[in-house]
């Protein structure tokens, strides 16, 4: 049986624009440029996409489950228009002081995903915009990818270097579309090497490589 090709994404700052006062409604949920198309790119290449997101606004009483569902309904409709989809959204509803096991940087959400899909998360690509995304993913055994949107938009080279030192081996990309293209093209190249052929590279967004 062919192994499940799985990618795990953060939400706020990776798929949609983040807000200092939290994304609290569907009206406030706005996709980042190219993000939904990036997810569709992964889907079309055979990847299943799931979301792992901290939503402490629930625990803080800033919005309720109906509002969260409305946000994800808007996301899913936008994805459908782009030709993509996410299989599921795993979220932590707890405030920081509740000491749960699922709030990133702890790996609980990732462990739930591994259990739900019956997959070993070692090497599964995980894409996020914050150090805690990377820490949770690495603890769960995932391959870490950082996008320079959300938390890392406008960050200094020194701040980026400190993050990469904390989670070495992380790939760095301009945005989700670039990360998706990197993953798709890397797999295509690996298949070409296995066949002993050379595929011409597709044109598309580039990626920044961590050093």
Question: Taken in order 2, 45, 138, 62, is the CA torsion positive or negative?
Answer: negative
12 catalytic? Reply is yes
Rounded Cα distance between 103 and 53, Å, is: 8
Rounded Cα distance between 133 and 52, Å, is: 9
Q: For strands 125-128 and 143-147, give the pairing.
A: parallel
Strands in 88-92's sheet, in edge-to-edge order, are 88-92, 48-54, 6-9, 125-128, 143-147, 171-173
129 catalytic? Reply is no
Q: How many residues does the chain have?
A: 211
The residue from 10, 18, 133, 175 that is catalytic is 10
Instruction: Using alpha carbons, select from 174, 117, 167 the residue that is nearest to residue 141.
Output: 167
The residue from 12, 129, 133, 175 that is catalytic is 12
Catalytic residues: 10, 12
């Amino acid at each position: 049986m062919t192994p499940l090709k799985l990618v795990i994404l953060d939400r706020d700052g990776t798929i949609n624009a983040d807000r200092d006062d939290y994304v609290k409604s569907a009206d406030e949920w706005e996709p980042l440029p190219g993000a939904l198309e990036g997810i569709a790119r992964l889907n079309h290449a055979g990847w299943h996409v799931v979301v792992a997101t901290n939503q402490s606004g629930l625990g803080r009483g800033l919005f309720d489950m109906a509002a969260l569902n409305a946000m994800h309904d808007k996301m899913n409709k936008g994805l459908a228009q782009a030709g993509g989809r996410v299989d599921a959204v795993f979220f932590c509803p707890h405030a920081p002081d509740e000491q749960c096991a699922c709030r990133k940087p702890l790996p609980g959400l990732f462990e739930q995903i591994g259990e739900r899909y019956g997959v070993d998360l070692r090497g599964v690509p995980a894409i996020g915009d914050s150090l805690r995304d990377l820490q949770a993913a690495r603890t769960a055994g995932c391959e870490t990818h950082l996008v320079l949107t959300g938390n890392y938009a406008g960050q200094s080279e020194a701040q980026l270097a400190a993050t990469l030192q904390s989670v070495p081996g992380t790939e760095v990309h301009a945005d989700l579309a670039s990360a998706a293209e990197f993953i798709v093209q890397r797999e295509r190249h690996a298949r070409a090497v296995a066949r002993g052929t050379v595929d011409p590279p597709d044109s598309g967004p580039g990626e920044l490589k961590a050093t």
